[in-house]
């Protein structure tokens, strides 16, 4: 995983913009501290900051096709690259980089090849022969990607907002599952799935064994790495399952089809929390059970509070849920980096796919349950994908999310939604728990959902609320519409985060890249209609769901 910055449709001289691109690229160097590369001609400039995970010795970017006509910079990983390479026995690959296969795919098929990729990516490809370019983002938006235009009309692409702020007068988030071919002149969707429609899945059979095999396959292919890796283990259901599967395959090198011993056979796991937090105890129990080399990281409330300003800069958000959860993850990533780990697997995406958030208890029927999971997946790039990627990449660590593997999503979203429903007999994510009940301790498999910002210790969020109440007055909040007429904050906590965000990213265009909608326990606004108690509430903590969470604010 890396950082990219590119300029197309140049309205200033290439040489003058090249110097600017080098400065812009420095803004994302934390994403790729291992090498810097740049390509430019009179029409295009592409800069790349590399984090070397696959083929560290020769996989430098931008990548160039053998005939010199195609230039490519990618932020991401293509998990099925070895299978895709077999389509091109006569192509002269220059590296072992998993991303290089994009060049012959595009050369042969144009933008239609995107559906063949199983991976996470945001890339910019320049076609010199046709003087055109292709921009694309992965199916779920696991990898961040932004676009912008300067006052003269030059078009920019970047992995993070900070590379464009101050240079572009208009900035947008490039949407997940979409591409832009300059010859077509508009952003188009490439990721389209029938399972989005409830009518397509309502009568399907649920095969628990298929779910288990599908997730095991996803973890297995995502262990592709030429550098030391680990797993994030909170002790919750999702991270515990991912860790257990990773431990199953960690002894062999995936690139050899499991024929050779792994280069780093001992799997390291990491958890973070306040002293005595629920997550630390649960994570240690899982680690002891599956046999990882486990590292429990304790942080203090003050250390978390001191990090918030940096967290908002690196995360590029003022969303309450994201800031709350990203702060401990950001602190943990720094420790992981200090141990030489460059890639970790994490459990994001499961709650969206299986309806694991506690407000799903209130879903009135299977149709609304399913439609909410689709809405959650549609918006994941604004929240958990952003958190998982940017919290880790702030320290040059790649995060991979097997639950959001393209093939596994198809399996999990095609099961009968009725079997995901929560009732007196089945708790949230029952299907997933059942699939892996033989792989983990009973008390972990059947542990109630804890959102990451809650699980690190309830006093973390409680202390945040106390702090912002001291920092933001009632008058400040009452007058918020004058200071922030666009997406006006509705709580003191949001006001505080927005104020810090504005210091880093002052433009209105930047503010509009951040979601600002009411939520209870991470619900979408639509799901607030499920329970009258949700009216006039706006609290992303799972404890906001009364009579469901064991430690709910209201019993």
Residue 449 DSSP code: P
- Contact indicator for 127, 67 with CB cutoff of 8 Å: no
Which 3 state secondary structure label does DSSP give 251? coil
Q: Which of 451, 449, 539 is nearest to 494 (CA)?
A: 539
Active-site hit among 2, 99, 168, 385 = 2
Residue-by-residue DSSP string for 489-530: --SHHHHHHHHHHHHH--SHHHHTTS-----BTT--GGGGGG
Which 3 state secondary structure label does DSSP give 70? strand
Which 3 state secondary structure label does DSSP give 294? strand
Alpha carbons within 13 angstroms on the beta-carbon side of residue 166 total 12
Q: Which CA distances in Å does 332 have to 44, 246, 322, 328, 541? A: 38, 20, 15, 6, 21
Alpha carbons within 13 angstroms on the beta-carbon side of residue 128 total 16
Q: Which of 147, 154, 145, 146 is nearest to 43 (CA)?
A: 154
- Contact indicator for 429, 349 with CB cutoff of 8 Å: no
d(CA 500, CA 521): 24
Q: Which CA distances in Å does 250 have to 271, 399, 432? A: 19, 17, 22
What is the end-to-end Cα distance of the chain in Å, rounded?
Answer: 44
Contacts of 437-445 spanning 24+ positions with Cβ under 8 A: 439/241, 439/244, 439/245, 440/240, 440/241, 440/244, 440/286, 440/289, 440/290, 441/285, 441/286, 441/289, 443/285, 444/235, 444/237, 444/240, 444/282, 444/285, 444/286, 444/289, 445/237
- φ and ψ of 120, to 5 deg: -125, 130
Task: Give the full edge-to-edge strand order of the sheet including 187-189.
Answer: 63-64, 70-78, 119-127, 132-137, 178-181, 187-189
- Contact indicator for 3, 48 with CB cutoff of 8 Å: yes
Token pair recorded at residue 106: 């595009």
d(CA 522, CA 528): 10
Residue 385 annotated among the catalytic residues of the structure: no
d(CA 489, CA 492): 8
Q: Which CA distances in Å does 323 have to 215, 241, 497? A: 29, 25, 8
d(CA 6, CA 197): 37
- Contact indicator for 384, 140 with CB cutoff of 8 Å: no
Q: Give the catalytic positions in this structure.
A: 2
């Amino acid at each position: 995983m890396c950082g990219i910055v590119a300029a197309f449709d140049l309205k200033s001289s290439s040489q003058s913009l090249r110097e600017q691109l080098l400065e812009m690229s420095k803004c994302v160097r934390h994403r790729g501290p291992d090498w810097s590369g740049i390509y430019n001609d009179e029409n295009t400039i592409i800069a790349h900051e590399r984090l070397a995970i696959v083929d560290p010795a020769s996989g430098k970017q931008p990548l160039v096709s053998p005939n010199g006509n195609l230039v490519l910079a990618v932020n991401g990983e293509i998990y099925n690259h070895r299978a895709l390479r077999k389509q091109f026995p006569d192509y002269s690959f220059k590296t072992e980089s998993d991303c290089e296969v994009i060049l012959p795919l595009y050369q042969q098929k144009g933008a239609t090849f995107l559906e063949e990729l199983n991976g996470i990516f945001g890339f910019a490809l320049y076609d010199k022969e046709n003087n055109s370019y292709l921009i694309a983002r992965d199916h779920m938006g696991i990898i961040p990607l932004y676009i912008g235009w300067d006052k003269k009309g030059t078009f920019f692409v970047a992995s993070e907002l900070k590379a464009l702020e101050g240079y572009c007068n208009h900035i947008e988030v490039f949407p997940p599952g979409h591409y832009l071919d300059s010859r077509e002149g508009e952003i188009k969707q490439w990721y389209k799935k029938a399972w989005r429609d409830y009518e397509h899945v309502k009568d399907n059979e649920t095969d628990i064994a298929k779910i288990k095999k599908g997730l095991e396959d996803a973890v297995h292919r995502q262990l592709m790495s030429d550098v030391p890796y680990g797993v994030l283990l909170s002790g919750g259901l999702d991270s515990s399952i991912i860790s257990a599967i990773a431990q199953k395959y960690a002894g062999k090198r995936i690139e050899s089809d499991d024929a050779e011993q792994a280069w780093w056979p001992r799997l390291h796991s990491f958890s973070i929390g306040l002293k005595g937090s629920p997550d630390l105890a649960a994570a240690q129990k899982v680690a002891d059970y599956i046999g990882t080399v486990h590292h429990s990281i304790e942080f203090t409330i003050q250390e978390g509070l001191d990090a918030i300003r940096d967290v908002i800069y690196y995360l590029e958000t003022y969303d309450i849920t994201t800031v709350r959860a990203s702060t401990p993850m950001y602190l943990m990533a720094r420790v992981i980096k200090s141990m030489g780990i460059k890639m970790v697997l994490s459990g994001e995406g499961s709650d969206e796919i299986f309806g694991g958030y506690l407000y799903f208890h209130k879903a009135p029927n299977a149709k609304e349950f399913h439609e909410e999971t689709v809405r959650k997946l549609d918006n994941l790039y604004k929240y958990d994908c952003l958190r998982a990627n940017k919290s880790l990449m702030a320290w040059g660590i790649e995060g991979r999310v097997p639950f959001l593997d393209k093939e596994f999503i198809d399996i999990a979203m095609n099961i009968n939604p009725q079997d995901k429903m929560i009732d007196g007999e089945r708790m949230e994510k029952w299907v997933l728990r059942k699939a892996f009940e033989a792989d983990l301790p009973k008390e972990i498999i059947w542990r109630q959902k804890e959102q990451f910002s809650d699980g690190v210790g309830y006093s973390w969020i409680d202390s945040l609320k106390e702090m912002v109440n001291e920092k933001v007055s009632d008058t400040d909040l009452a007058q918020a519409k004058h200071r922030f007429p666009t997406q006006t904050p509705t709580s003191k906590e949001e006001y505080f985060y927005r104020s810090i965000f504005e210091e880093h990213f002052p433009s209105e265009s930047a503010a509009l890249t951040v979601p600002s909608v009411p939520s209870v326990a991470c619900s979408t606004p639509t799901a607030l209609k499920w329970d009258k108690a949700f009216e006039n509430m706006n609290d992303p903590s799972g404890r906001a769901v009364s009579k469901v969470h064991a430690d709910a604010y209201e019993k």
